[in-house]
Structure 1
Amino acid sequence: MAVLEWKQATCINFMEVSKGYSGPHLKIQRHSDDCRSFIGMVSTTGQDFYISKDCESQHGELLHLLGYAVGFWPEETRSDRNYYVQINDDNVLTPVVDNFPIISDNNYSVPFDYCSIMFHHERSICLMPY
C-alpha cells in the first residue's frame, strides 16, 4: 500500500522486477525485528530494504522508509532545523541519539514541513484540521 501511495503522489514509479534482475532496485525482505533502509541508492545491483512483521502494518513508517530508499533525509536533519524545532538530546534514546545530525544545504529552499512523512513525530497531530 505504501508503494502505491508513493506512485500516486509522486513521479516515482515502482515496478516489480524478476528475481535475476541486476540493475538498481529495492530488495524488499522480511526481517525478524527491524524495519530499515539506507538513504538513497547505495548499490547498483539491488539495495536491501527490510520490513518486520510488526512494521508491515505501520503505514506511516513504510512511507517514511520508502522516502529513505529514494534519497530523502529526515526533515529534522535540514540545515535550517534549529529555526523550527529543538532536539532535546536528554530525551533521545541512546541507540538513536546519532540519528539527528544537521546536514548542510539539504532544504532546497522548500519550507519546513511539520507534517512531512519524513519528519519523526507523532503523525496523528497532522491529521487534525487546521
Structure 2
Amino acid sequence: MAENAKKQAQAGKAPKIKIRKGDTVKVIAGRDKGAEGKVIRVIREEQRLIVEGVNRVKRHTKVVNQGGRDGKTGGIITSEAPIHVSNVMLVEGDGVTRVGFRRDEVTKRRPDGSTYLGTRSVRISRKTGKEI
C-alpha cells in the first residue's frame, strides 16, 4: 500500500483518501488511541488529517517586536498536528466502520433542459451498506 502511494506521489497524483473534512473519526492507534474528533483539514499529498482535539503539540514562540502593532507576542501555543489516515476510522452510529463506494444511477439535466441517465459515486458504510 505504501509503495502504491509513493508511486502515485511521484507521478504527481495525490492518493485517494476516503475520509473528508467534517467527518467524525476515532483514533485507533498511537498516543491518542480511543479519542474521537471532527476532521478539520485533509492533506491528500501526505495522506494525513488534522483532527480536532487529537495529536496536540506545543510550540514555544519568541516575542517579535518588528512590524509595530503587528508584532507577535511570545508564549506557548497548543495546536493540532497532522495524523496519518491509517490511524483513524470513520465513526458511524455506535461504532466505527470502513468506507466503500457505490455507483448510483441518476437522471442528470443538460443546460438545454433535456435529461439523460448518468451515474453518481456515493460513499457507503461497509458495516451497514447505508449512504454516509
* TM tier relative to shorter chain: under 0.3
When Rg is computed on C-alpha atoms for both structures, the one with the higher figure is: 2
- TM-score, normalised to structure 1, is 0.21
**Could you say which structure has the higher strand fraction?**
2
The one of the two structures with greater contact order (alpha-carbon pairs below 8 A, sep at least 6) is: 1
**Could you say which structure has the higher helix fraction?**
1
- TM-score, normalised to structure 2, is 0.21
